[in-house]
Amino acid sequence: MKLFKNMFVFFLLFNFGLAFSQNLDKPYVVLVSLDGFRWDYSKYFTTPNLNEISKIGVHAKSMKPSYPTKTFPNHYSIVTGLYPDHHGIINNSFYDPLLKKSFSLSGDEKRDAQFYGGNPIWNVAEKQGIKTASFFWPGSDTGKKSPSIFRKYDDTVSYTERINTVIEWLNLPEKERPHLITLYFDEPDHTGHTFGPLSVENAKMVVKMDSIIGVLVHKLDVLPIGNKINLIVVSDHGMANISDSKKVAVLDYLKPNWLGYHQVINPIMSIEAKEGCRDSIAQALKKVPHIKFWATKNLPKRFHFGNNSRDLDFVIEAEKNYSLVTSKKQKVFGGTHGFDNRNKDMHAIFYAKGPDFRIGKRIGTFQNVSVYPLIATILGLNIEKVDGSLQEVEPLLRKKESFYNK
């Protein structure tokens, strides 16, 4: 009996030790977003730190955002591997006719889990025994679909505090330490909106954000686990110039009694038609200059958009560099995003380095939903079928034999 107890204790200790050692060997992924960092900023501005990542790691020519090319839809597409129509965050603001509720970034509903579909990568990792954390990633602070560690968004928190907190997380004891971390920075998006993508002001901000990446890289590299960390730097979309001479007041062409829910989110808008008014709206929109519009059921298939009830009845998009406004009196300046994702000004960045990435590898443009299967592969996660494709990004990875526990 004593021998049996000793064997049982040995068995438990052996398996605990094996699981612990395997967890120690698991790689780390730190996914960083620079909101609004256009794919070609490095051609116009000085970005030595991103250039260095490209040299010692990998770099895509550009990363194609999902449609519409707005912030929340694309951040959530990156972490779910799904197009906005499939995960439900179809714009920064929208109306859900089934819930009879509106979603907006200005209210608490942006943390309401019932708006968010899909299975975020942190949920998948947690269920498979990998602890995760997030510092402000859109969709990470709903509570019901959140990482083990997360922060509610507060744009007053300094970039230094964000970086230092991530380093603190990576210095936690192994049992408490996250192996997947998502980190969000709100620039250069704000500056690009205010002054334009190629402005002097945005040039300074791009240089600043590149230096922020440099600080983060240094602090990650000097950690005891630094050689196990895979750093991925992305953005959600790019930025295009707009001006006050190029604007369209769409609502001037439409009668209020034709319309249900509608909201201009420059340069796009969705319209809910009142019963019997679809034909009137369509005929009126044909007369509006400098726009494209579709009944949602007729949207181009390449958008992967128009099959969600939140898309409503019509989608309107301004021509390149034009703006949709609610009134001709509304002033337009700086830059914006939301245009067709074929528009290269809308394209984002992808840089990465670490033990699971090749050195000096460059690939062409790929769709942002493919970041999800890329991270899942590095972490050894089993995932459901998503819109993203590992095949698009697999050339960035070292051979499987070099992966941890694979």
> pLDDT tens digits for 327-339?
999 999 999 999 9
Other C-beta atoms lying within 10 Å of the C-beta of residue 278? 15
**Mean of the per-residue pLDDT values for the chain?**
93
Structure tokens at 406: 């694979």
- Name which of 125, 113, 124 is nearest 89 in CA terms: 113
Please say whether the beta carbons of 112 and 142 come within 8 A: yes
For the CA atoms of 37, 41, 46, 47, what is the dihedral angle to 10 degrees?
Answer: 50
Please say whether the beta carbons of 241 and 319 come within 8 A: no
Longest dimension (CA), the chain: 90
Phi, psi of 321 (to 5 degrees): 70, 5
Bridge partners of residue 29, in order along the sequence? 180, 230
Is the model's pLDDT at 2 over the cut of 80?
no
Q: How confident is the model at residue 246 (pLDDT cuts 50, 70, 90)?
A: very high
Alpha carbon distance, N-terminus to C-terminus of the chain: 39
**Cα separation, 147 vs 124, whole angstroms:** 10
| Number of helical (H) and strand (E) elements in the chain, helices listed first | 12, 20
Q: Are strands 58-60 and 361-363 parallel, antiparallel or unpaired?
A: parallel
Question: For 376-401, what is the mean pLDDT?
Answer: 93
Q: What is the pLDDT of residue 20?
A: 41
Q: What is the pLDDT of residue 105?
A: 94
Q: What is the pLDDT of residue 250?
A: 96
Q: How confident is the model at residue 143 (pLDDT cuts 50, 70, 90)?
A: confident
Q: What is the pLDDT of residue 24?
A: 54
Please enumerate in sequence order all residues whose Cβ is within 8 A of that of 397, keeping only pairs 6 or more positions apart, or say none: 356, 357, 358, 374, 377, 378
Torsion sign across C-alpha atoms 131, 137, 139, 143: positive
Q: How confident is the model at residue 18 (pLDDT cuts 50, 70, 90)?
A: very low
Q: Which comes out higher in pLDDT, residue 21 or 194?
A: 194
DSSP letter (8 states) at residue 43: H
Q: What is the pLDDT of residue 289?
A: 98
Q: What is the pLDDT of residue 21?
A: 41
Please say whether the beta carbons of 257 and 274 come within 8 A: yes
**Cα separation, 296 vs 89, whole angstroms:** 16
Q: How confident is the model at residue 400 (pLDDT cuts 50, 70, 90)?
A: low
Please enumerate in sequence order all residues whose Cβ is within 8 A of that of 143, keeping only pairs 6 or more positions apart, or say none: 111, 113
Please enumerate in sequence order all residues whose Cβ is within 8 A of that of 19, keeping only pairs 6 or more positions apart, or say none: none
Q: Are strands 229-234 and 28-34 parallel, antiparallel or unpaired?
A: parallel
Tell me the domains of the chain and their CATH numbers: 26-241+342-402 (3.40.720.10), 247-332 (3.30.1360.180)
DSSP letter (8 states) at residue 397: B
Provide the annotated active-site residues.
71
Please enumerate in sequence order all residues whose Cβ is within 8 A of that of 295, keeping only pairs 6 or more positions apart, or say none: 278, 282, 313, 314
**Cα separation, 114 vs 109, whole angstroms:** 9
Phi, psi of 377 (to 5 degrees): -65, -45
Please say whether the beta carbons of 352 and 232 come within 8 A: yes
Burial class (CB in 10 A: 0-12, 13-18, 19+), 269: buried
Per-residue pLDDT tens over the stretch 164-202: 999 999 999 999 999 999 999 999 999 999 999 999 999
What single letter denotes the amino acid at residue 121? I
- DSSP for 212-229 reads HHHHHHHHHHTSTTGGGE
Q: What stretches of 177-322 show up as alpha helix (H) in DSSP?
A: 189-195, 200-221, 278-285
